[in-house]
Structure 1
C-alpha cells in the first residue's frame, strides 16, 4: 500500500514537470492536459474517501452528545413545561431521517465503480461536506437543547434550596 501512496504523492511533481516539457513541446499539451485531469479527479476521489471517514466521525460525535442524558430523568419537566423527550422529539426525528439518508448516500458512493467515483468526485465532494456540516450542526443543537433543559433543572433545584 505504501507503494501506491508513494506513486500518488509523486504525481503532482510529475504533472509540473510535464507542464514544463509541454511548454517546450506544445504537441504534448493534449496528453499532458488529459493526464492532469485524471490526476486531479483521482486526488478528489481519494479526498472523498477520507471524507467518508470524517463523516462517520462527525456522526459519532453528534450521537455522543446524547450521552449527557444519562443522568436526566425521563419524566423531568423544565420550567416551560416540556420534558426532555418533548424538547428533543422533532430534532431526534430529523436526525434519524438524516442518518438514513446519509447511510444511503454513502452506500451509493461505495457501490460505484472506481471510474465513476473518479469522474463524479467533484459532485460527491459537496454532498459529503454537507453531511459533515449537518451532523456538526446537529450536535450543537443537541447540546443547546440539553443545556437548556439541564439549566432549567438547576434553576428549579436552586429555587427549592432558596425556599428551604
Structure 2
C-alpha cells in the first residue's frame, strides 16, 4: 500500500502519540523546523493535552530569508544546494537546537507541489533531518507521490516516525 494511503488523520495522530510517549519516557524535549509542512509536525505533536511538557517550539521557516534569520542557515548552503537539500536541513536542526535548547530537533524541507519541482528535485522530494546535536544529526531524502496535501501528509508521518526511531535507537 502506498504511504499516502496510510497517512490519514488517524495515522498521523497515532504517530504523534507514539513519539510523545518516547519523548516523555526519555524526558526529552523537541523543537521543529519546518518548511513545506508548514508547522504540521508541531501541530500533530501539540494536539495532545500536556504537550507543553515535551514540545518547546515549532519554527515555520518557509522562506530562505526565514531559514537564514531564524535558524542560521548559511547563504552558501542555500546558493550551492538549494533549500531542499541535506546541508540545509542539517543546518535547520542545528539552528532549532541553538534557538530553543531542545533535547532533539527535526527539520523538513521539500517540494510539495504542484509547481516548484525540477529535474533533480521533482515534486515530492523532501529532505528530513533530526538530531540531538549537529554532530549526531541524521538526514534522509524521500520521494513521495501524490498531490500537495498527500506529499505533506506523507512528510509529516515520515518525520514523526523518523524522530521516534532515532530516539529509540540512539
TM-score (norm 2): 0.29
Max radius of gyration: which structure? Answer: 1
- Structure with bigger helix share is 1
TM-score (norm 1): 0.30
